[in-house]
Each structure stands twice: as C-alpha cells, then as structure tokens.
Amino acid sequence: MTNASVLLGLFVLPAIGPARMTLNVRSAPFVRVVATDYRLTLPTSLHAGLTTFRLVNQGRELHQLYLVRLSGDKSAADLVKAMKSGGPPPSWALDVGGPNGVDPGSTAPDVTVRLAPGHYAAVCVIPSADGVPHVMKGMYADLTVMQNAEQASLARSPDLTVTLQDYGYTTSAPITAGHHRLLVRNDGKQSHELELARLAPGKSPGDIPAWIEDMKGPPPAHFLGGVGPLAPGQENQLSLTLMPGHYVMLCFIPDVEDAKPHTAHGMIHDFVVR
C-alpha cells in the first residue's frame, strides 16, 4: 500500500497539468517531511502556491503534519501556548490540512496544499499513550511561506471529491481499489479532518476511537494518513492507492460545543473497497 503510493506519487508529480499553456506554469513542488518521536523536520521556508507534502514517519508512534496558518505575527510557540490553555481555537489560527496520522515506519499518501504567503505552524497533536499530545512534547515547527510570482498547477486533477460536514463524510462516487486523487473539502461550520484507517481482521469501526482513548494493546487498524484538520472552506488533494479492504474515515477534532471528539458525534464512516 505505502510503497505503491510512493511509487505512483513519484510517477505522477513531474507531469504537467493538461492543456495549461501559460509559460510560468509548473507542477507543485514536492516537500518531504520526516517525523520522529517527537520532532517534525521540514524546511523553514517555502514558496507560496500548490505544494505537495510527503510525510515519512520514522518514529515509534503515530504522527501527522498538521499545518496551521497564523495571522498577527503569531508563532508556533504562541499556538502551543494557546493549546495548553485550552478553550476554543484562537481566531488567529486557520487549519489548512496536511498529511494526517500515519503508522510508525510508514509513509503517508501525498497531500497537496495551496499555501498562501504568511507564517505557519507545523504540529502533531496526536496523543501518546500517556494522553499528552505530541505538540506538548515539542513536536512543532515554524514555517514561513514567501510570495511567489510563479503559479503551480496540479499534475493531474482530482477524480473524486470527499466532502466533510458537521458531522460526516460524503464521497462523490464509491471509492474503488487502485489509485485516486481525492479533493477533500470542508463544507462544515467547524474544522474537520479525514483520518483514513484500514481495519484489522475481526475489528469494527467503533474499536478505533475506543483504542485511541488509552492506546493499550495492538491497534485495531492500520492508520494510513489522510488529510489533517481543515477550517471551513479549506481543501487539500490526497493522492493514494487503495487495495481492497474495510476502511474507516474518522475525525477526532474536539467539538466547539462539548469538546467531545467528532467521532462521538457520528463522524466515523466505514466503507468497503473492492
């Protein structure tokens, strides 16, 4: 699964978008990000425009690359401080996605994000077995996105759309085995994520949020990645290859009203790939 998606990603990325004759069109640049326990290694600055992120998890725990656009001169440390104090997400932080949680030793499917110029925090908010989110263990980094005269285009346009809502997922067509480019868009009123997992034999979708609570024993699923938290109206493209199996989409973001994870509000959607 992972190796296949990596190979396809490499194959697809250098291609130029169809019939785009503008001289300065190029395909989205590719950024490899390494996650360890507990560190995210990525460039400190990038150019604005479409950018494809590949997250390689070299740690022993689940990790994600969750990108947050900051306004008003805020830094990643300011975001961490705000997260520590709890309460609603700060108004100066905008969730813009990125590759979501992937198993230790695995590479997440590529995620393409349209980066606007400005300052960003890259974080991992997945908790350890002790319940402490990795961001509180130092797993955050600052990223500056610079103005860019060039325009990147998607190497290939999406073949499916996954819409995130309060609270659920809608796909434009059934997801089949093979390679797909999913446009993942949040049409809800609060942030949502798409964590993609493949169930282990004999496990059911509800076993996943139960396991996340204390992370005791073997995980009931393989965590394949997906798209990290997206604010309302935000979208990412997810390029992945699926083999037949029983999959689940989940959103663990705490609700703005009751702070329960969205899985408790029904944001857990299983589907079978044939």
Nearer to Cu ion, 52 or 64 (CB): 64
Region from 104-112, 113-121, 129-137, 188-196 binding Cu ion, contact rule CB under 5 A: 188-196
- Closest by Cα among 232, 234, 224 to 184: 234
| Min separation Cβ 165 and Cu ion, Å | 9
Q: 124-136: b or e for each residue (b if 16 or more CB lie within 10 Å)? A: bbbbeeeeebbbb
Task: Say whether residue 69 binds Cu ion (CB under 5 A).
Answer: no
What CA–CA distance (Å, rounded) separates 274 from 271?
10
In one-letter notation, the amino acid at residue 127 is: P
CB 35 within 8 A of CB 57: yes
Q: Binding to Cu ion (CB under 5 A): which residues in 107-146?
A: none
The CA distances from residue 91 to 125, 165, 188, 207, in Å, are 18, 20, 17, 34
**Least distance to Cu ion, CB of residue 62, Å:** 18
In the three-class reduction of DSSP (H, G, I as helix; E, B as strand; rest coil), residue 73 is classed as: coil
55 torsion bin: left (phi>0), alpha (psi -120 to 50), beta (else): beta
Helices (DSSP H) in the chain: which residue ranges?
A: 2-12, 76-85, 207-214
- Is residue 148 within 8 A of residue 158, CB to CB? The reply is no
Q: State yes or no: residue 262 binds Cu ion (CB under 5 A).
A: yes
Closer to Cu ion by Cβ: residue 13 or 227 = 227
Binding pattern for the stretch 209-248 against Cu ion, x by CB under 5 A and - elsewhere:
----------------------------------------
Nearer to Cu ion, 134 or 262 (CB): 262
Q: Residues 108, 145, 242, 253: which binds Cu ion (CB under 5 A)?
A: 253
Q: Is 251 in the site for Cu ion (CB under 5 A)?
A: yes
Q: Which stretch binds Cu ion (CB under 5 A): 34-42, 197-205, 219-227, 261-269?
A: 261-269
- Compute the least distance from the CB of residue 192 to Cu ion, in Å: 3
The count of chain residues that interact with Cu ion, using the rule CB under 5 A, is 5
Nearer to Cu ion among residue 191 and residue 241 (C-beta): 191
Determine if 192 is a binding residue for Cu ion (CB under 5 A).
yes
Which chain residues interact with Cu ion by CB under 5 A?
Answer: 192, 251, 253, 262, 267
